[in-house]
Structure 1
Amino acid sequence: MRYVKLPKENTYEFLERLKDWGTLYAPVKISEKFYDFREVEDVRQIEFKYNRTIMPPKKFFFLPREKMFEFSISKAEYEEVIENVEPFVVFGVHACDIFGLKIMDTIYLDELPDKYYKVRREKGIIIGISCVPDEYCFCNLRETDFADDGFDLFLHELPDGWLVRVGTPTGHRIVDKNIKLFEEVTSQDVCNFREFENKKHQMFKYHEDWGNLRYLLEMETEHPMWDEQSDLCLACGNCNLTCPTCRCYEVQDIPNLDGDTGVRIRRWDSCQLRSHGLVAGNHNFRPTKKSRFMNRYLCKNAYNEKLGISYCVGCGRCTYFCPAEISFVRNLRTIMGLEDKSCPPEVAEEIPKRGFAYASTIRGDGL
């Protein structure tokens, strides 16, 4: 991998030159507490030290709402809508969100690529930036706190600038075209980089092994936590909408007033909504709020075999933006016995029975 240094005094000029590569999006402060990725005109509005944005960067590749095709009933035909996607740059992406995009790639760029997602991934440039965790972050437990790939450039904060890792041929071209803005990396820069990463590691709130978590979730389907926390849940779907790896969508046909033509769209869906599990015949695979609540925890902690990580990247958004103040991490630690350490002896005898409850959880039977 290639390493260069971007001096602090050249930062804004570099950001301005990124506009030559496409529309520039970056984290900006949108209220007293919140940040979001927005199109940037003035590069001095970019926030470098933010914890999380409201919406993850997946919104640039997997649109919250997009038109698929227009149709005519009388003509019995449809015309596919292919949007002309212009090049764009997403600056300031944290490592956990880069892993989120890598997870999305395993879903939408597999053996049957999604054409709408694929064209945006090909047009988009990802530039990552280092960060420090707050009390909501647990990406270290998910092994997503440092990205090896999935970016074109990645900027690591130094006392006097940025150590830049170059990850792709596009990243090389960006550096080469602006080579006068960069310097060689010195041994002192490497020391500063190492010190930053060591301090970052120590700043995480939790340091524990979550390797068996997904199995405990399957075995503990009768744990009282599910009833207690699902009762608090508003079933609003906010956790899904802010999650960098939730990928469910629904398809709708919207007719025009002429009663003949219309448009088919797809939009983000949430497994926390009752309509998500509803199918023909008015059967619902997850009719209760508890079954939907449990499904999300099982889904997010399932194992992505292609990447070797869970579908949760530890960004903390689902907890931070939950209007019911439900803590995803606290609930998981409760299941692991780290929040509530009480475990009566008779529980060991029940575990074989609890294992069979997993199938009914997925179906929603009896929940």
Structure 2
Amino acid sequence: MRYVKLPRENTYAFLERLKEWGKLYAPVKISEKFYDFREIDDVRKVEFHYNRTIMPPKKFFFPPREKLFEFTVSRAEYRETLEDVEPFVVFGIHSCDIFGLKILDTVYLDEFPDKYYRVRREKGIIVGISCMPDEYCFCNLRETDFADDGFDLFLHELPDGWLVRVGTPTGHRIVDRNIKLFEEVSTEDICNFREFENKRSKAFKYHEDWSNLRYLLELEMEHPMWEEQADICLACGNCNLTCPTCRCYEVQDIVNLDGDTGYRERRWDSCQLRSHGLVAGGHNFRPTKKARFMNRYLCKNAYNEKLGISYCVGCGRCTYFCPAGISFVRNLRTIMGLEEKSCPPEVSDEIPKRGFAYAAGVRGDGL
């Protein structure tokens, strides 16, 4: 891998040069507490030290709402409306969100690639940046705190600039065309990089082994935590909408006033909504809020075989933005026996009840 140094005084000049590669998006502060990725006109508004954005960067590759094709009923024909996507640059993506995109790649770029997603991935340039965790971060437990690939460039903070890792041929071209902005990495820079990473590693709130978590979740489906937390849950879907790896969508046909023409669009869906499990005949394979709540925990902690990690990257958004104050990490630690009152007073020995059928809402008790 190639390493170069970007001096701090050249940072804004570098951001300006990135605009030559496409429309530039980066994190900006949008309120007293919140940040989000927005299009950048003034590079001095870019926030380098932030913990998380409201919406994950997946929105640039898998839009919340997307037109698939237009149709005419009388002619029984349709016309694809695949957008002519212009090149763009997303600057300031954290390691956990880079892993989030890699997880989406395993879904939408498998043996049957999603062409709408693929064209955006091909046109998008990823520039990552290092960060310091807060109390909501647990990417270290998910092994997503340091990205080896999935980026064109990655900036690690130094006292007087940035150590830059070059990850792709596009990254090499960006550096080569702006080589006067960069310097060679010195021994002092390497020492500072090491110190920053060590400091960052110690800053995480939790340091534990979660390797058996997905099994405990299946074994503890009778745990009282599920009922208690499902009662608190508002079933608003906010956790899904802010998650960098949630990938469910619904498809709807929108008919124009003439009753003959229209278009089909897909938009993000949430497994926490009652309508998500609704199928033909009015049947719902996940009818209760508790069943939907449990399903999300099983889904996020399932094993992605291609990457060897879970579908949760530890960004902390679902907890930070939950209007009901539900802590995803605390609930998982409860199941693992790391929180007080982790075990119920009486443990059921009815093993046949435990399993995915329970989470799928087979019992259907309560709302």
TM over 0.5: yes
Residues 355 and 149 (structure 1 numbering): CA distance in 2 closer, same or farther, change over 3 Å? farther
Equivalent-residue separation in structure 1 for 2:208 and 2:250 (angstroms): 37
**How do residues 108-187 of structure 1 correspond to structure 2 at under 5 angstroms?**
108-187=108-187
Flag the 1:251–1:220 CA change in 2: closer, same or farther, 3 A: same
CA distance in 2, matches of 1:125, 1:346: 53
* Paired letter, 2:39: E
Question: Counterparts in 2 of 1:49-88, with a 5 A limit?
Answer: 49-88=49-88
Q: Which has the higher helix share?
A: 1
Q: Give the letter aligned to residue 358 of structure 1.
A: G
Distance 1:250 1:344 in 2: 38
Give the Cα separation in 2 of the matches to 1:55 and 1:320.
12
Partner in structure 1 of residue 340 of structure 2: 340
Q: CA separation in 2, counterparts of 1:229 and 1:124?
A: 39
Indicate the SS of the match to 2:229.
helix
> Does the CA-based 8 Å contact 1:271-1:296 persist in structure 2?
yes
Deviation at 1:354, TM superposition (A): 3.6
Cα deviation for residue 340 of structure 1 reads 2.4
Structure 1 consecutive aligned stretches of length 4 or more whose deviation exceeds 3 Å: 341-347, 353-356
Measured in 1, the distance between the counterparts of 2:210 and 2:271 equals 24
Amino acid at match of 1:327: S
* 1:171 match: secondary structure: helix
Q: Are the counterparts in 1 of residues 61 and 117 from structure 2 also a CA contact under 8 Å? A: yes
The number of residues matched between the two structures is: 364
Counterpart of 1:124, as a letter, is G
Shift of 1:113: 0.3
Number of the residue aligned with 2:44: 44
Contact kept in structure 2, 1:49 and 1:131, CA below 8 Å:
yes
Question: Which letter maps to 2:316?
Answer: G
Identical columns (%)? 82
Return the offset for 1:342: 5.3
**Over aligned residues, Cα RMSD in angstroms?**
1.2
Partner amino acid, structure 2, of 1:126: I
Q: Any residues of structure 2 matched to 1:268-347 within 5 Å, and which?
A: 268-340=268-340, 343=343, 347=347
How far off is 1:145 after superposition? 0.3
CA deviation after TM superposition for structure 1 residue 356, in Å: 4.6
State whether structure 2 residue 226 is matched by structure 1 residue 226.
yes
- The 2-side partners of 1:174 and 1:271 are apart by 40
Structure 2 residue matching 1:142: 3-state secondary structure: coil
Change in CA separation of 1:145 and 1:87 when aligned onto 2, cut-off 3 Å: same
**Is this contact kept in 1: 2:277–2:284, CA < 8 A?**
yes
Unaligned ranges ≥5, structure 2:
none
Secondary structure of 1:156's counterpart equals strand
Q: Residue deviations 1:193-225, cap 9 Å, x none?
A: 000000001000000000000000001011000
The alpha-carbon distance between structure 1 residues 99 and 342, as it changes in their structure 2 partners (threshold 3 A), is closer
Asked if the contact 1:218/1:355 (under 8 Å) is kept, the reply is no
Partner secondary structure for residue 139 of structure 1 = coil
